[in-house]
Structure 1
Amino acid sequence: MSVSISPADLYRHSLRLLLDKDIPGWLGLWAEDGVMEFPFAPHGWPERLEGKEAIAAYMRHYPDHIDLHDFRDLRIHQTTVPETIVVEMRGVGRLVRTGKPFDMTYIAVVTVRDGRITSYHDYWNPLAALESAADFTGSSR
């Protein structure tokens, strides 16, 4: 008997893994052919990552750059497509290199099939990212 997890519960679990800095565990939630997109990515930053390997390369050093402490104001909205959710939240923490506060508002559209993330559209504020771009020197962004 297989146990299925709802997209909302899978997403909540993914946030816990990010807070625990468990990037391999977070990547384990992805389908091999998963796609991560950043529609508002600034010039020179990735707009689309295709496949688990590309997503892994992008996320590998994330905890070295951002020390996440919490995801506040989390709201998960179910859509008319059962596999797809819309998420609103704030990621709060600090930038590792400078110690400056990190506070980013996100909206994500996430699709889950067979217990794995297949599509993740990450709508974050590129202006806030550009303000701290120097703090990402050497990152995969």
Structure 2
Amino acid sequence: MTGTMTPADLYRHGLQLLLDYDIKGWVALSDEDVVVEFPFAPDGFPKRLAGRAALGEYMRDYPDHIDIHAFPDLEIHETTNPDTIVAEMRAVGLFVASGEPYEMRYIVVMTARNGRITNWRDYWNPLGIPASMDDAKSSSAASRRGLR
């Protein structure tokens, strides 16, 4: 199915997988040699991931940290390269550990070939996340065990 999707359709499909908590399905949209970059990643967070396995490991616990409810304000811009799109959107949901609202604006530059994501450059604001996702993860795990 992904082989016949345009990059914009592939991107939209990926957002729905994230809303469905299908992280494995989202990662599977990527090429085996995908490169994912986070130019604004703070210290302690990766700035570059190489390969589907690295992306899968990075995304594995994502639903334990952030519960996304919607991606409003999605705009997808086609570029002069038919394989590349620029997406602007807002993600809204909750931080799992605290129950506090989560809202983040994103700009993503995505390239896809043969129905698979080959490059993903994700521009997000690191000031919009808790000071330590490790603290959030620990707090979340404690909550699930009834310790908070």
Q: TM-score, normalised by structure 2?
A: 0.88
Paired amino acid for 1:91: A
Aligned to 1:102: 102
Q: CA deviation at 1:133?
A: 2.8
Contact 1:92 1:103 in 2 (8 A): yes
Paired amino acid for 2:113: R
Aligned to 1:83: 83
Listed as ranges, the matches of 1:1-141 within 5 Å are: 4-129=4-129, 132-137=130-135
Q: 1:33 to 1:77 in 2, by over 3 A?
A: same
Q: How many residues align?
A: 136
Q: TM-score, normalised by structure 1?
A: 0.92
Q: Name the CA distance, whole Å, in 1 between partners of 2:24 and 2:17.
A: 9
Q: Name the CA distance, whole Å, in 1 between partners of 2:64 and 2:3.
A: 34
Q: Name the CA distance, whole Å, in 2 between partners of 1:83 and 1:32.
A: 17
SS of the residue 1:133 aligns to: coil
Structure with the higher strand share, 1 or 2: 1
Q: 1:59 to 1:3 in 2, by over 3 A?
A: closer
Residue identity (%)? 57
Structure 1 consecutive aligned stretches of length 4 or more whose deviation exceeds 2 Å: 133-139
Structure with the higher helix share, 1 or 2: 2
Gaps of 5+ in 2: 138-148
Paired amino acid for 2:56: A
Q: 1:53 to 1:3 in 2, by over 3 A?
A: closer
Greater radius of gyration (CA): 2
Q: CA deviation at 1:44?
A: 1.7
Q: Name the CA distance, whole Å, in 1 between partners of 2:95 and 2:82.
A: 36
Deviations 1:31-58 (A, max 9, x none): 0000110001111210000000000000
Gaps of 5+ in 1: none
Q: 1:22 to 1:81 in 2, by over 3 A?
A: same
